[in-house]
Structure 1
Amino acid sequence: MSADTTHPALIQPSDQSASIWRYMDFAKYVALLRSKALYFFRIDKFDDPFEGTISRAEYEDIVARAKKGEQDGRLPPEWRGKYFDVLMQNARNGRRSCYVNCWHFNEGESEAMWRLYSQSSFAIAIKSRYCKLRDALPTPSESGRPHVGPMLGRVTYLDHFKEQLPTGNLLVPLMNKRPSFQHEQECRALIWIPEPDDYVLHPDPDAIFAKYPVGLSIDVDLPSLVEFTAVSPLAPSWFLESVADVTVRYGFQWPTIASSLAAKPYI
């Protein structure tokens, strides 16, 4: 088992054993234990409207390509007069047909990540390593599902208004975010469900994506992935024992520890 890391859009960390963290509330932690699977969320359902979108330079390139294509007169009859719409449809499709599972690169815990990705004091952080996530994910050919991936890489951060993303590849916008999110230092696992061959000629292409699920659950070997779980620094003392108990009840033996941010000062 091993995720695909070979695609040129998948930037790899210099240290394959780099520490990664996933922050979640207690309910999601229990769902993880119960399902023994990582949940991949559809990119166009994220709060950030720029997730998986093209840059201004790419948009301007599409405008130019559409104009040139219409002028050349060599388009298929069904594309004539609406080539711009066809190109934009292609650009939008990636974010409607791709799913991600996100982790945070950091050697230690992040106070900001606790606040951002846990909705209460009853929250969990899972500690792992990049290489462990890579090896815990199924090899794409072994997944048994009609999708491409899982793939794995490091998110890069580019200004969509000032910088140009490499064009001509579906995955590039999906592995790039705006600099305002650079604090996330994101590690991203990615899955793509290809569109039907006839989707461009479909009378209502949006209807195709309306049938795509909001999320996908991918089975993983949790014991090989999880090093330990930490509980929120704001959690009451009894919560740690409860998390440890639930973990064992689902058959897992990794440690449950208090957050390092809950340590008391020396003065």
Structure 2
Amino acid sequence: MGQVKIEIPRDTVIKRYLSFQNFELLIKNQSLYFSRFDKFEDHLEGGINRRNYHNISNSTSVVDLAMHRWPGVSPRTEEETKALEKTEAAIFEDTFPSILGVQKKLDGDAFLKNISSWLYASCWTDLRHECQAMWQLYGSSGSNCRHENGCQECAKTLGNSVCIETTVGAIVDNLELAKGYNLTIQKIEYLDHRTSHFHESDLIMRPYFSKALHFSYENEVRFMLWPESNDIRFSYKYNQSTVNDQHSQQLKIKDLNSFIHRVVLAPPPPSKISKTRSLHLENYDSELGLKEKLSNKSLKSKVEELFKINKLAIRVTESDLIQIATTDLYTLDE
């Protein structure tokens, strides 16, 4: 059994936005999906900062050594030859600590190219409030369609996503850790990969819990899964690095009722909210009763039916994004 390391308070409230299709898979399979790092859209995931390259790879020294050994270079003294041989030996023996054990710097470039294929993550956010951008990016693609006439892809998913709310501790207590894997939970830090620099002792874990500043709106809490095995090989020789054929991981959930504390339903698309509001005001000259019309009843029915089939008693609430404005006396207490 691997190790579990929690670097964030267990009572931290976290959320995950996902399409109804993926939510349904989570419930039916009773498992949490972990994506492989190299499948993420952000290709900086798992990468080190350029200023730390020399801590991982000694390729520049290899090139320098090759230049000194280039045919036609002027004859050397015996002392110079010995110094060159000593340098060569040091290059071939130099190592660095990594998340998968001690590696040779000679294999550093192969490590940097392939390490992301051995790491898996389940990404959550600790934003306490509901986030409209998260609905758009990580929920259903159609729930926030901005296309003037809509599109077939978005039409399939309009208002058809959910947000799971739970705590770090509830997830950890209910996950069955896969044999031979470790799990670490940590808050993501956001940085500029061009200018930031890690202390050498931080390079074992810190790069995998860092993201580019462009994603700082996510406020991510990451559950990272990786193999314990020291048999994984990163080789400077072409096509000799160990290949991972596991494109994802799924950890079984012991009890969904305690794993999920609340499910929030997606709000209607902005275009639908605007149209419904305009029509309601035209008919009633007040927003009284509008919130009920904006309720995602069809999705609520699907979620409740899914819970009923799987014998779950989890609270379901509407999105806070359907709250209405106070425009008159009648809407004062809405």
TM-score by length of structure 1 reads 0.83
2:47 aligned with 1:53, yes or no? yes
8 Å CA contact 1:137, 1:150 repeated in 2: no
Q: Give the C-alpha shift of residue 75 in structure 1.
A: 5.3
Local SS of the residue matching 1:265: coil
Cα distance in 2, alignment partners of residues 123 and 144 from structure 1: 28
CA root-mean-square deviation: 2.9
Cα distance in 2, alignment partners of residues 106 and 88 from structure 1: 36
Q: Give the C-alpha shift of residue 248 in structure 1.
A: 1.9
2:134 aligned with 1:74, yes or no? no
Cα distance in 2, alignment partners of residues 198 and 242 from structure 1: 44
8 Å CA contact 2:190, 2:211 repeated in 1: yes
Matched positions, count: 251
Q: Give the C-alpha shift of residue 246 in structure 1.
A: 1.1
Partner letter of residue 216 of structure 1?
A: Q
Match of residue 298, structure 2, among 233, 238, 250? 238
1:5-154 correspondence runs (5 A): 5=5, 11-12=7-8, 15-62=9-56, 66-67=60-61, 72-74=87-89, 86-118=107-139, 119-120=141-142, 121-138=159-176, 143-147=177-181, 149-154=182-187
TM-score by length of structure 2 reads 0.67
> What stretches of structure 1 of length at least 5 have no aligned partner?
none
Q: Give the C-alpha shift of residue 4 in structure 1.
A: 1.9
Identical aligned residues as a percent: 21
Q: Give the C-alpha shift of residue 110 in structure 1.
A: 1.0
8 Å CA contact 1:94, 1:171 repeated in 2: no
In 2 relative to 1, CA 146–212 (structure 1 residues): closer, same or farther, beyond 3 Å? farther
> What stretches of structure 2 of length at least 5 have no aligned partner?
66-83, 95-103, 143-158, 270-295, 328-334
Between 1 and 2, higher relative CO (CA 8 Å, sep ≥ 6) is seen in 1
2:246 aligned with 1:213, yes or no? yes
**Which protein shows a greater Rg?**
2
8 Å CA contact 2:58, 2:106 repeated in 1: no
Question: Is the deviation greater in 219-228 or in 180-189?
Answer: 219-228
8 Å CA contact 2:57, 2:106 repeated in 1: no
